[in-house]
Structure 1
């Protein structure tokens, strides 16, 4: 029997929203009962839309097929007149996953102020009263003092500038690593097979990806698994991400899940040490 074509629908609940105001996006899929699919998580940005939460509803099955649906809550901070969004679903095949997109939907920006192109700058300037500035005394002394400060600052930077800059970069790396460890441990401490535990696993993965992205200054959250492995030079990452995705989207929670979490921590620490070595090598080159 030929399978019915997948019907996918995605749209905003609101027609318009202010900058930073939560907006809701509904994603529905009608498919055959024997087809396996999963929805995108809420651990990465979709264009200008920053995810806040995802609410998934139980599958409803009828003679027409199986209906899966979810509501995503987003915020956006772009000042364009409108934004479009099309969230995909992932159809699981025998060998890989296929992304299927619905028709894009549009939400418009509610402006609290007129559009910049509609503002009459000449009128604004003519209505601004410019106070008279009285000449200050001792301009000569102020000028000489400024020159002295600049000279002293220049000498200090010339002698100690490189060490100060390097020490500050070391401190920033260390501080961000401490913040990452605390945030990651807070989420991974209570990972389990129940829905709350799976959500914490998803949150921990998001914390890890954002840290690696800032640490390596690469768009890590947009990379494929292959690109992630090539960038971090650690083949364990592919299996670790696969096990974690299987737990989050497929509910396949096992000992490998926690092993994969520990591997992610080791990879993050290795990336941190790599960045420290780069700073040290810069010093030797100079």
Structure 2
């Protein structure tokens, strides 16, 4: 039985395209049931068109033959006004494959500027705002300014270095005292005869010892009660420490416990003031 002639049709699914926009090309072939048809892959050369993908549809067969179809997706980046394309199919035969082309179809380039040839480029340059050029930094001036600043800093340190160190030391001393008072007050705000209150009391006492240690440079955190009393030579301290030990370790909380806490603050403040006086006198001498 003689095969019917192959009918092939290829056409763009859009009338026009912008640069870089995706366009679609439909290709369909009607052929005999026993004929094998192959469509080109997207890896082939399609001229001005860059292939993105190929969507192949299943073969449809009826009494008159078979239909194969596919849609190719392309992108176009050339600026000619019109482009044409005809994608062939391959018919498998005994000896080789026969390439069969459809009629060429055309697509037009859609320009964002209708008549670019009429644009006066010189007039565009005149309307483009040009930012003023910043003066180039002279490396020589940078070096001179840098050396001058270094010398000035050295002179300031030469004449005022010792005093600046003392002032900074005074500032650090004040800052530590402010931090201590704030944290100590937070711990002692809720001292009561219960577990949480006694824990806060223990934290406050531990904080006080660390702060006194930073002021005197002596290991108060490891001292016994007697060693602390002997070091500070404060008669009231012995009674205050006894009350605190009795409350913390023995649970004997009383009104005198609050008085002892206030005594710790007074002692810490007294040592702080003494250190401030010493540093201030050193500043006057320098």
TM-score band by shorter chain is: 0.3 to 0.5
- TM-score normalised by length of structure 2: 0.48
**Rg comparison, structure with higher value:** 2
